[in-house]
Amino acid sequence: MNIAIVGGGTRCKRLIELIESHEFQEIKPKVVAVADVNENAPGFIKAKTKGLFVTQDYNDFFKKKNIDLIIELTGNMDIYNDILSKKKKNVRAIANPTAQLFWEISRLFALQKITEQKFQETQTRYKAIINELIQEDVLVIGYNYRIVDINDSLLAKLGLKREKVIGRFCYEITHHQDSPCSGEHHPCPLIQTLNTEKPSQTTHIHLDKDNKEIYYSISTYPLRENDDVVGAIEISRDITNDINSQKAMMRQEKLASIGRLSAGVAHEINNPLTTILTTAMLIQEEIDPEDPNFKEMETITKEALRCRKIVTSLLDFARQLEPSKKENKINEIIEESVILTKKQAAFKDITLALELKDNIPTVFVDKGQIQQALINLIMNAIEATHEDGEIKVASDYNTENKNIEICISDTGEGISTEDMDRVFDPFFTTKEKGTGLGLAITHGIIEQHNGTIEVESKLGKGTTFKILLPANASTGGNNAGQ
């Protein structure tokens, strides 16, 4: 098997050396070519020294006839997908650099028919592969779903020790379930591999040590013993950042489109609305208060004013004005926001508490916009919280990532799981008289300050909105006052 490697870094060099030093029984791999844009990469230099074909453009591989397998070692999925689209049909390509080698070494390990010395040598190479060459998360799973081995990367993410994992069911460790994965939306790749005796790929949602969801792209490869499939090697790659980035891009495109539509609708409605409101008020002035039509005009006036408020919200959402940033103390902005909402909280007998840390540096923000965002969140919390409930507004400074954290927590009704992904969508609301624009505007304000806003909630147990603002929030925008 002639192998071409894309990515001439340290792992490429180790892979060349590993293939040279190991005696393979079922396959005869041989590295014949290496590609890397950096001619000084260690693997590139190693290949050049050995007289192998080297190039700075992996597209040269597609012209060669003696290549059976292309291994992509850069970790760039765009490059891997490009290779898949351009390679010849008889040429295989794998994103994981050591799948074939790993199967062979795992087979030797599983059979346990080698001497103790050879076993130790194989185990050393095996550990080097799953802990050094393979940067993804690796599980070796038996036919009965029990974990045979696990690499250090996955152990660290799970927050577990090896002895607490070996022998446990895979679905118990990675999904915190008491039965194997199943169903159209959560298929078990292990079952597919065992049934077909071929590699399988799917996407799952795992839970980390803090019970937070992580999206994983999972590939399983058959593990053979005496030509029988006895288990599988599961290689997982965390694609959470990719998924979140895609969601964020889609959301920004959606918000931009809705913003343009909202601006057009608001302007078209505003003029006739003003005419209706003015006419109703003029007629009302000419009518005796005892006249039955007086109350009808009053109703028209009130509803027109309510519509104007909605139109104003639409324009606020559509404008997304560039913040005018000045140096401010975030705690002072929080305190003023709480003062402005304290009466509404007191009216419902809700306790509005402050927990503000003193170690927070000043930041460059648009005070009015940040105050608007905080008031929106506090008012939402008041509406969602029952009498005698509690709302807590807290601030802190994370010295590690230099983020200012603002948390607004309530003991209210909470948000259902199906609504969690839609809370920041414009026009989505669970309130009878809500417009669904408050949180959308708040989200836009925080993003324009280079920050993020997160929400955690459980039905019946309240909701927490967490705002993260970078301490160097002066970057970007109009930083007047610096």
Q: 407 Cβ partners below 8 Å, 6+ apart?
A: 392, 393, 394, 395, 396, 464, 465, 466, 467
Query: What are the Cα distances from residue 43, in Å, to 13, 133, 355?
Result: 4, 13, 55
Give percent of the chain above pLDDT 70.
78
With helix as H, strand as E and coil as C, how does 329-393 read? Answer: CHHHHHHHHHHHHHHHHHHCCCEEEEEECCCCCCEEECHHHHHHHHHHHHHHHHHHCCCCCEEEE
Element (H, E) at 327: strand 326-328
Mean pLDDT in residue range 408-422: 83
Greatest mean pLDDT among 97-101, 183-187, 209-213, 356-360? 356-360
Whole-angstrom CA distances from 149 to 115, 136, 397 are 20, 14, 40
The secondary structure of 79-125, three-state, reads HHHHHHHHCCCCCEEECCCCHHHHHHHHHHHHHCCCCHHHHHHHHHH
CATH of segment(s) 2-95: 3.40.50.720
pLDDT digits (tens, 9 = 90+) for 213-257: 778 888 888 887 777 777 888 888 888 878 777 766 776 666 666
Q: Which CATH number fits domain 326-470: 3.90.25.10, 3.40.50.2300, 3.40.50.970, 3.30.565.10?
A: 3.30.565.10
Higher confidence at residue 175 or residue 465? 465
Residue 130 in this model has a pLDDT that exceeds 70: no
Whether 132 shows a pLDDT value over 70: the answer reads: no
Residues 6+ apart with CB under 8 A from 65: none
Query: Is residue 481 predicted with pLDDT exceeding 50?
Result: no
All residues at 6 or more sequence positions from 29 whose CB lies less than 8 Å from its CB, including other chains: 1, 3, 19, 69, 100, 101
Superfamily for domain range 114-238: PAS domain (3.30.450.20)
**Quick check: helix, strand or coil at residue 44?**
helix
Tell me which of 1.10.760, 2.60.40, 1.10.530, 1.10.287 is the CATH number of domain 246-319: 1.10.287
pTM metric for this prediction: 0.43
Strand partners, 36: none
**Residue 391 · residue 410 · CB < 8 Å:** yes
The full set of domain ranges for the chain reads 2-95, 114-238, 246-319, 326-470
Residue 402 pLDDT more than 70?
Answer: yes
Distance, in Å, from the CA atom of 138 to the CA atom of 174, rounded to the nearest integer, reads 12
pLDDT at 474 > cutoff 50: no
pLDDT digits (tens, 9 = 90+) for 15-64: 888 788 777 777 788 999 999 999 999 999 999 999 999 999 999 999 88
pLDDT surpassing 70 at residue 433:
no
Span 304-348, pLDDT tens digits? 887 877 776 666 655 555 677 888 899 999 999 999 888 888 888
Confidence at 424, pLDDT banded by 50, 70, 90: confident
CA 368/CA 363 separation, integer angstroms: 14
Residue written as token pair 């409930």? 389
- The pLDDT tens digits for 80-90 are 888 889 998 88
Give the Cα separation of 336 and 301 in Å (integer): 32
* Average pLDDT across the chain, whole number: 79
Which of 453, 199, 450, 432 is CA-nearest to residue 325? 450
Residues 6+ apart with CB under 8 A from 360: 329, 330, 331, 395, 396, 397, 404
